[in-house]
Amino acid sequence: MEETQIVTDLSLIGLFSEADIIVKIVMIGLMIASIFSWAIIIEKLVLIKLVNRNAIKFYRDFWSSNINDIDVAYRNSRNNPMAKIFNAGIKEWNTTFKIHKNMSIDGVKQRIEKAMNVQMNIELDKLEKKLLFLASVGSTAPFIGLFGTVYGIMNSFSAIAASKSTNLAVVAPGIAEALFATAIGLFAAIPAVMFYNKISSDISRVTSNLENFSDEFINYFSRQIDAQMVADDFDDNYESQDEEY
């Protein structure tokens, strides 16, 4: 009887090269998923750091500079959701209150708030883009790796039956190949889950900061509208007094 060839190379490359084609496909798929996950992780970490830095600078400039100067300086800013929300509010201000002066104060406030909220959702969607991939990898990669493991172990049992030997040296390489698939699945899933939670937490803090700024900006507009209405009432009363005299 021909002796069954035993795989002796238990290095990672050896385990991969000697694995069954199905197990190889599982390993390659998991490695590709891991590469894409790390690309998304690095991209999001860099983006959120840049967004927070830009938000701090904009917030300081907003309260220390003229609002018209801020509008010009940050009109075409990138990676700055706070500035984008500000620009949306200013744009709505210019197209409602300054043009339709007869509109009610509550109507002006609601339209400005609505414009800012829409822009906020747009900016948050940009930050959250591709996060679903991380969640999918984190939840499915272990099971995909487990599928490769189960398939590899089935092949190992087939080798036992074919060789009619229970010698550990016969089945150990096949089992090692199978477990290697699970290891790759965990390697892909664990960072995806950990950084998904971290990035989601960071985005939640960004969302909170944007909501706080939006509320402050609405209050700022309210004061401006109230001041404008008082000034208009004063001018109307002054003109009516002039007509009486």
Judge contact between 155 and 174, C-beta under 8 A: yes
pLDDT of residue 245: 45
More confident residue, 82 or 222: 82
- Say what percent of the chain tops pLDDT 90: 36
In this prediction, residue 47 has a pLDDT band, given cuts at 50, 70 and 90, of: very high
Q: How confident is the prediction for the chain on average, in pLDDT? A: 80
d(CA 190, CA 137): 9
Per-residue pLDDT reduced to its tens digit, 165-186: 666 666 666 777 778 888 899 9
Q: Which two tokens stand for residue 79?
A: 């990676």
Per-residue pLDDT reduced to its tens digit, 132-143: 999 999 999 999
Q: CA-CA distances (angstroms) from residue 200 to 118, 190, 196, 206?
A: 20, 15, 6, 10
d(CA 52, CA 209): 9
Per-residue pLDDT reduced to its tens digit, 99-147: 655 666 677 778 888 889 999 999 999 999 999 999 999 999 999 988 8
Q: What SS3 class is residue 85?
A: helix
Per-residue pLDDT reduced to its tens digit, 187-244: 999 999 999 999 999 999 999 999 999 888 888 877 776 666 555 544 444 444 445 5
The pTM score is 0.77
Q: Which two tokens stand for residue 120?
A: 């906020």
d(CA 149, CA 20): 11
Region at 192 (left for phi over 0; alpha for psi -120 to 50; beta for the rest): alpha
pLDDT of residue 210: 92
